[in-house]
Structure 1
Amino acid sequence: MNNISVIGSGTMGNGIAHVFAQYGYKVSLIDINQPALDKALATISKNFDRQVAKGSLTEEEKKASLGRIQPFTSLKEGVQQADLVIEAATENLQVKLDLFRQLDEFSPENAILASNTSSISITKIGSVTKRPDKVIGMHFMNPVPVMKLVEVIKGYATSQEITDTVMEISSKLGKTPVEVNDYPGFVANRILMPMINEAIYTLFEGVAGIEEIDTVMKLGMAHPMGPLQLADFIGLDVCLSILRVLHDGFGNPKYAPCPLLVNMVEAGYKGVKTGEGFYEYTPGSKDLKVSRRFH
């Protein structure tokens, strides 16, 4: 298994492409938007530069890794030689179902089709293909080159052989794969998102301020990042989407998104990606300032 196709060149997609290329795989990075591909390749190059500066990679290894990544704007061309396809597109059910119908048509019949979804049912995604036994979840963590965990999500129809193969590939990337079954939110987000949601409710109900809530969790619970800062980092729109999947999937009111989160997303304050969420973000600055909207 040598040819990897990655669908989507955003934060997760370019991180996944980076890691596979670094470990010797030939990578086709696919996005319908050429400027997005150009930006992704520049980001990957900068991230490799950081590794070179730290001494974890040589300049020659960086060049070789970059040479293994080929950009495509055509989905059909980008997956026609794939052994493994990893979809890292928008966290939207309809988008993913449409993509997997096309991937099933365009990819070699023995190719494994994986999704980097953080919450959407692998069973449902696999059901729109003619190869549900070869459809699986590979949930990488952000930033992909740094974070060790890969949640390997086995859909109801996913074969054990495919699951074992993906676990092995993940290990070859220097990651620690964990096999989980296909239920809303899997493990990571089923536990993480209610915590983030509760932190937002704690703010919403006036129990404490943003810095105070994050400080309690960092110093009291040894979390490297407070839940409100983490929500900004993930993207408040992504957090809202996952909470809605959990709420719809389990029908339990404990997963209902906080009204404050809903309002912030609807107003366009989505965290780091938009420059403001619970905190304000200035490019190039490491100072963390609470959003003026919460003063």
Structure 2
Amino acid sequence: MVRVAESDLRKQKRELADAQVVLARRRRYGQKMYDTKREPRAVMKLRARTAQQSAGKYRIMHEEKLAEAKERLDDAAEAVRDDDEIRVDLPYTAVPPGRTVLTLRDLVPAYGARVTGGLDVHGPERIALVGRNGAGKTTLLRTVAGELEPVAGEATAHVPLRFLPQRLDVLDGELSVAENVARYAPGATNNLIRARLARFLFRGARADQRAATLSGGERFRAALAALMLAEPAPQLLMLDEPTNNLDMASVRQLTSALEAYEGALIVAAHDLPFLESLGITRWLLLEEGELRETTPEAVG
């Protein structure tokens, strides 16, 4: 695919060079006709204007073909660089140390584990939420995100919060990647959205691809981009089993994206090596209906 695109780019470069030779030849012929005054002056001026307009269209046509060939090459090269790292700056996600970003008080979710007493999350803590399947991790995160009403107690976010669920339903499958991001950042210009998406490895035509046609890894990356580039910037980000169904390249991309995130982070996961790679500062365990502090050694 890359070789085909490179061949097409060389072809378009040759055709543009040939076109420039043709145009130069035409200009010399026109100047010769004008110098020898073989036709009336008015006729020669009209002919010169017409030739100039035609030459401009001819040149623009070849320049556009060359630009399209370059974009196809970029897309082809990107297609074989699926293990590229995400490199993005997210300064607006920063939270001052010690600032309370989330308060839980005697929280009783609709089902699953409860939070007895109080729990505060401060910026920029990185919290691992662990526990066996069915312990209630997803229910707790959905309750904090406001998707589920608690039976009792309080869950209050004091900063902009975003939640990325396992099912990735934050994306509209009928919209393009760029259009999905625009839904979360309505004040951002199209050029700014595309520039930011390029850092999430959606470059050129890839940003125009419908979400429904993306691979699993691409869909996760698009969902992550939509939430991390949202306005206002999320200063508390919650992820539910983010590495499920991701290949190694996608996990590396997720890790590099989260390295740039400066807000508070809560990640529910079973993948201990992945959690440790995030620089987790606090471990919370859901067990026997209660949420309590733990250590990575106890989890392992």
Q: TM-score, normalised by structure 2?
A: 0.22
Q: TM-score, normalised by structure 1?
A: 0.23
Q: Which has the larger radius of gyration?
A: 2
The one of the two structures with greater contact order (alpha-carbon pairs below 8 A, sep at least 6) is 2
